[in-house]
Amino acid sequence: MEGLEKIRMGLEAVGQSMTRVIQGQEEVIEQVLTCFLAGGHAILEGVPGLGKTLLARTLARLVNADYRRIQFTPDLLPSDIVGTNIFNMQTAKFVFRRGPIFTEILLADEINRTPPKSQAALLEAMEERQVTIEGVTRPLPDLFFVMATQNPIEYEGTYPLPETQLDRFMMKIIVDYPEPHAELAVIRSYAQGKDLHDLESLIPAGVITKESVLSIRRFILRIVTKEEILGYIRTIVAETRDPVYVQLGASPRAAVAVLKASRALAALRGSEFVTPDEVKDVIVPVLRHRVILRPEALIDGLTSDFFLQGILNRVPVPR
C-alpha cells in the first residue's frame, strides 16, 4: 500500500500535467479525476470545442492506459461496441472479434446520437465490468473507465438517455466556456506554434502507473468517514425526494455514489478523512442527472443544479 504522501504527489503530478493541456478547466479536471479514482464513469456535457475528447486522451496518456474512442451514430449497432463472433473459413470455427469496449479508457463520443438498443450495450459493461455475448461472459480490464460526451444544444436526431442508463454514470460533469484569461492562454499557445493536441511533445506518458491507480482505489476504501458525515449524505439524498418539485428523487445507490466520490476527492486533496466540504463539492455532479424535476417546476424555471444547491444551503452541516 502506498503512503498518503506518495499518493498525493502522484495525483498532483497528474493534475498539473492535465492543466498544462486542458487550460481553464480546473474544476472539470478535478471532477473527472475524482470519478476515475472512485471507480465510476462520467458523462461530460458541453458544446463542441471545449476539449472533452482531448481530456480523455490526456488522462489515458498520463496513466499509460489503453484508449479507444467510439463515435456514436444513428446506425451504430451493439456489435460495433462489444464485438461479434466471426466464422473462420479455414478452421470452420467461430472466432470472437473484440469490440472497442475492451479497453481501459473508453470515450463514448456523442452517446445520445445512437438508438437505445446500442446505448444499452454499455449497461452491463459499466455496472459489472463484463460483457456477455451469446451466453459467454468476458471480463473487462480492472481500470475500465467510460467517459461519455453529449452536446446540450442539438436535439434533432438524438435519443435522450433513459434514467437507467444515466444512473450508471457516477457523475454528470458540465464543461463550460473557460474564463477570458484561460481562453487567451489557449490562443497564445497556438500563436507561439504550440499544438495542445500534440500530447507527445507536451506531457510525458505514464506519470502515474496503472498499478498505482488501482492501489489508490484500494486506499480510498480506508478513507475515514465519520457517522456524522454518513448522516449528512443520507439527509441530503432524502431531501431530493421532495414530492412538490421532484418526479424522481435520488436512490440509495446515489447515496453510495456520493460517499465514493467524497472519499476519492478527499484522497485527491491529500486527506485521510472526508469533511463536509468534499460532500458539498460532489453533490451536484453526482446527483444532477439522477433528480428528475416535475414539469411544472421546470416551467417555473427551476433546474436540478439550483434545486440541489438549495438543499445544501438549508441542510445543517455537521461540525
Amino acid at 204: P
Question: Minimum mean pLDDT among 84-93, 167-176, 256-265: which range?
Answer: 84-93
pLDDT tier at 1, thresholds 50, 70, 90 = very low
pLDDT digits 0-9 by tens, 90-104: 887 888 888 999 999
Q: Is the pLDDT of residue 33 over 60?
A: yes
Decide whether 22-193 matches 223-319 in CATH topology. Answer: no
The CATH superfamily assigned to 22-193 is P-loop containing nucleotide triphosphate hydrolases (3.40.50.300)
| pLDDT, greater one: 3 or 205 | 205
Residues 269, 278 contacting (CB under 8 angstroms): yes
Domain residue spans of the chain? 22-193, 223-319
pLDDT of residue 156: 64
pLDDT digits 0-9 by tens, 118-160: 888 888 889 889 988 888 888 999 999 999 999 887 666 678 8
Output the CATH code of domain 223-319: 1.10.8.80
